[in-house]
């Protein structure tokens, strides 16, 4: 007797095979079972998606048999299948692509004997009662946040300042869920596992009583065997707590009761290849699905989003009441009210007293509304000895004092303003640490000849190759093309070719020159370190470098966004952003949001130890000190920034008040890529597709980086005020895109893809 099955398999992107394929089996199989099936000349892994009552008009001899079943694995749950179906439909990808990408790759390669051997490995239950005697006391704000979270069922946004103790709230919420239900599982998501090692360590330490096998990590940095082991433990319910990156949101967790999304604003939660899903949004949807599952005995599945600078989409959701907002505005161990009788003073440099060689006056801008600081204290304020400017710790909640340096008043071509350099030197002399943030790695963005105008362009991309001095190479950060630095200009032969601009490598070298005469308290020379993608290529390099910082072996840390978020540096009292102006006037409407978030996160690395919070400062070097973004930053006032951005977006009909998708095309010629998109849009207009009256497709344009690895790239923006109308349009448009692709003039098209809810335009 034959049993008819609908099986989902991984099909090539845009192969026009989006749904399940029909197979037959000689024995009954459960929906959700993992099977091996023939596909062409290969044997691939598949998931039984549905059962057919009979073959109907199908001829049995034309339907291929299931090759085998992965015995011992429980079927994937109905809730998991609903999640995958929604993801595939909403993000316009094939069902098999999403479903199989959510499974560990090694599962596709194991034979029945190998899988049985792994499943038979005993799980040593070393769980024991948790010792709560050494738990730190919660602050009043933490206790209130937990109480409010327990009293509601909506998705919750924990809006907490950096250093306010959000992680402890996550830990307590997870501990309560695990204690209530002996089978419950908790998923904790982080943007990038390498950027948050301390968070992982804290969770593993706090839940060590569950046993080593019951706290697992799930991310792409694991070996295939490690990833398979973690997935099997989660799927079987043995893992009680899973810590992972965006891929973990699609993991099989049959008893999931709590999802925590740390730093929910981070762009890393948006997948940029294949199915371009947002893990944050899927976490909210998954909690809704899990809550509707009647098999869970302990009520709803909750989702807790956390950030000091929430995404504007999540913030707007709290304003409309869809999300619950939990506020924690004060850092742990910092006074919550202003003591007018004992105003605290910054230990920063005596502003207004510094002058460069030659005696010309410098101007630094602090929290006084963008006015330049002149010699002497501001009127109406008491100046402490030494001319230091006062600030009340309470009014900032222990967050660092923000000083804006107007670079229009600094020496020409100055990289580090003299006031900032003096502030760093003072920190070094006191045995404190400083962090210098520049979101551009390499020595210089470009190498140039000033005689003929030659620049180090990449021959394969419409971008410049970055000069890396440490290995004397020109390296393209888009396609990876690398060459040795030429001895002379390839165009005119001039030997005087020079770097233009600065990256972290050059900044590190420049700081070493500027601070050459500065000494630590022990009399030794200043120690400068750099952390970016170039210095952390080797396995274990990041952990080793971070350990040096925590041990106090580094005085000045230079780096990119790798060090600007997620780390709990206890001895950093000064953070400086060297060149943040580039994003202020970007064509991407999300650029200001990303910049404000990055600067707030970077500033949050300073003063995390309550002993240093009074002296902590953030310096921002800018040519636009009066820009509203910096005005909000100086007050650490995210609500004001968000209100301004939301008003602008509402006027323009942009997210979260409007919905969009990008359709991207790649070809050997730009005209082919743009022609394909324009032709597909014209066909959609001609056919009057569902939702077309509420959807606006714009003409195709080249992407910002137009050519990568000799492939031309174009994109088309599609907007709508209605999410439902946009989804109907995109679903109906897919067949037209396939038909347009088959036209003779577009045979040279390489690929195309739809990106729903893009994070960058």
Question: In this structure, is the dihedral angle defined by the CA atoms of residues 135, 140, 143 and 145, taken in order, positive or negative?
Answer: negative
Indicate the burial class of 596 (C-beta count within 10 angstroms; 0-12, 13-18, 19 or more): buried
Asked if 430 and 440 count as a contact pair (C-beta separation under 8 A), the reply is no
Asked if 91 and 176 count as a contact pair (C-beta separation under 8 A), the reply is no
CA contacts within 13 A on the Cβ side of 16: 8
Return the number of other C-beta atoms located less than 10 Å from residue 324's C-beta. 20
Give the three-class secondary structure for 337.
coil
Q: Three-state SS string across 560-604, please?
A: CCCCCCCCCCCCEEEEEECCCHHHCCCCCCCHHHHHHHHHHHHHC
Asked if 298 and 184 count as a contact pair (C-beta separation under 8 A), the reply is yes
Tell me the C-alpha distance between 133 and 507, whole Å.
47
Q: Which residue has the tokens 């943040």?
A: 580
Q: What is the DSSP letter of 641?
A: H
Annotated binding site: 449, 452, 458, 461, 476, 479, 489, 492
φ and ψ of 364, to 5 deg: -110, 150
Angle at 638 (CA atoms; ends 633, 641), nearest 5 degrees: 75
Tell me the C-alpha distance between 116 and 403, whole Å.
62
Q: What is the DSSP letter of 29?
A: -
**Residue 87, H or E segment:** helix 78-90
Tell me the C-alpha distance between 153 and 324, whole Å.
9
Annotated binding site for Zn(2+): 449, 452, 458, 461, 476, 479, 489, 492
Asked if 561 and 597 count as a contact pair (C-beta separation under 8 A), the reply is no
Residues 544-571: b if buried by 16+ CB within 10 A, e if exposed: ebbeebbeeebbbbbbbbbbbbbbbbeb
Q: Three-state SS string across 642-704, please?
A: HHHHHHHHHHHCCCCCCEEEEEEEEECCHHHHHHHHHHHHHHHHHHCCCCHHHCEECCCEEEE
Which residue, among 540, 535, 441, has the nearest Cα to 221 in the 3D structure?
A: 540
Asked if 219 and 248 count as a contact pair (C-beta separation under 8 A), the reply is yes
Return the number of other C-beta atoms located less than 10 Å from residue 55's C-beta. 15
What are the Cα distances from residue 65, in Å, to 27, 153, 527, 589? 11, 46, 67, 52
Tell me the C-alpha distance between 103 and 44, whole Å.
13
φ and ψ of 164, to 5 deg: -85, -5
**Alpha helix ranges (H) inside 213-337:** 224-235, 279-292, 312-319
Give the three-class secondary structure for 437.
strand
């Amino acid at each position: 007797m034959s049993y008819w099955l609908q099986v989902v398999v991984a099909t090539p992107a845009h192969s026009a095979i989006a749904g399940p394929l029909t197979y037959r089996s000689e024995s009954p199989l459960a929906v959700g079972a993992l099977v091996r099936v023939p596909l062409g000349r290969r044997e691939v892994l598949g998931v039984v998606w549905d059962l057919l009552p009979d073959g109907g008009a199908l001829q049995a001899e034309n339907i291929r048999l299931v090759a085998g079943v992965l015995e011992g694995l429980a079927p994937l749950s109905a809730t998991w299948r609903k999640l995958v179906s929604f993801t595939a439909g909403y993000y316009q990808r094939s069902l098999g692509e999403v479903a199989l990408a959510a499974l560990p790759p090694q599962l596709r390669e194991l034979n029945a004997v190998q899988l049985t051997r792994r499943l038979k490995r005993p799980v040593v239950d070393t769980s024991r009662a948790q010792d709560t005697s050494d738990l730190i006391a919660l602050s009043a704000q933490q206790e209130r946040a937990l109480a409010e979270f327990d009293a509601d069922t909506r998705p919750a946004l924990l809006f907490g300042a950096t250093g306010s103790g959000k992680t402890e709230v996550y830990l307590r919420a997870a501990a309560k869920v695990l204690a209530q239900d002996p089978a419950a599982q908790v998923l904790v998501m982080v943007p990038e596992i390498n950027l948050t090692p301390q968070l992982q360590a804290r969770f593993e330490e706090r839940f060590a009583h569950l046993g080593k096998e019951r706290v697992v990590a799930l991310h792409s940095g694991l070996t295939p065997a490690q990833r398979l082991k973690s997935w099997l433990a989660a799927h079987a319910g043995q893992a009680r707590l899973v810590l992972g990156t965006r891929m973990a949101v699609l993991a099989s967790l049959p008893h999931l009761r709590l999802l925590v999304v740390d730093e929910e604003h981070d762009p890393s939660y948006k997948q940029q290849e294949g199915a371009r899903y947002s893990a944050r949004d899927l976490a909210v949807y998954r909690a809704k699905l899990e809550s509707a599952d009647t098999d869970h005995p302990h009520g709803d599945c909750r989702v807790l989003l956390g950030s000091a600078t929430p995404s504007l989409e999540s913030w707007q959701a709290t304003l409309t009441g869809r999300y619950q907002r939990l506020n924690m505005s004060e850092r742990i161990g910092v006074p919550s009210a202003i003591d007018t009788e004992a105003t605290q003073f910054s230990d920063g440099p005596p502003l207004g007293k510094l002058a460069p060689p030659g005696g010309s006056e410098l101007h630094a801008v602090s929290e006084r509304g963008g006015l330049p600081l002149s010699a002497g204290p501001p009127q109406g304020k008491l100046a402490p000895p030494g001319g230091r400017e006062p600030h009340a710790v309470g009014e900032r909640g222990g967050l660092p004092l923000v000083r804006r340096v107007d670079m229009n008043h600094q020496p020409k071509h100055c990289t580090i303003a003299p006031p900032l350099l003096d502030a760093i030197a003072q920190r070094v002399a006191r045995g404190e640490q400083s962090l210098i943030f520049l979101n551009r790695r390499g020595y210089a963005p470009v190498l140039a000849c000033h005689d003929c105008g030659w620049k180090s362009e990449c021959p394969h991309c419409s971008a410049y190759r970055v000069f890396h001095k440490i290995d004397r190479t020109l390296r393209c950060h888009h396609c990876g093309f690398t060459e040795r630095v030429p001895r002379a200009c390839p165009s005119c032969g001039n030997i005087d070719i020079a770097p233009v601009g600065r990256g972290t490598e050059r900044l590190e070298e420049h700081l070493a020159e500027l601070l050459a005469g500065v000494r630590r308290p022990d009399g030794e020379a200043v120690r400068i370190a750099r952390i970016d993608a170039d210095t952390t290529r080797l396995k274990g390099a990041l952990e080793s470098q971070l350990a040096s910082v925590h041990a106090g072996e580094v005085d000045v840390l230079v780096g990119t966004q790798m060090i600007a978020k997620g780390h709990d540096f206890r001895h950093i009292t000064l953070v400086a952003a060297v060149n943040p102006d580039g994003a202020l006037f970007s064509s991407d409407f999300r650029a200001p949001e990303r910049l404000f978030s990055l600067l707030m996160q970077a500033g949050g690395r300073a003063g995390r130890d309550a002993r240093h919070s009074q002296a902590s400062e953030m310096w921002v070097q800018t040519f636009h000190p009066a820009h509203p973004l910096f005005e909000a930053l100086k007050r650490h006032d995210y609500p004001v920034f968000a209100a301004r951005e939301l008003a602008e977006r509402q006027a323009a009909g942009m997210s979260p008040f409007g919905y969009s998708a990008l359709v991207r095309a790649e070809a050997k010629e730009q005209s082919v890529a743009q022609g394909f998109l324009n032709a597909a849009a014209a066909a959609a207009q001609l056919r009057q597709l569902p939702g077309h009256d509420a959807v606006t497709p714009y003409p195709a344009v080249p992407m910002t980086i137009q050519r990568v690895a000799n492939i031309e790239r174009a994109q088309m923006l599609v907007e709508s005020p209605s999410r439902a109308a946009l989804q109907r349009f995109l679903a109906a448009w897919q067949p037209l895109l396939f038909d347009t692709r088959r036209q003779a003039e577009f045979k040279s098209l390489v690929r195309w893809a739809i990106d729903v809810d893009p994070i960058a335009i």
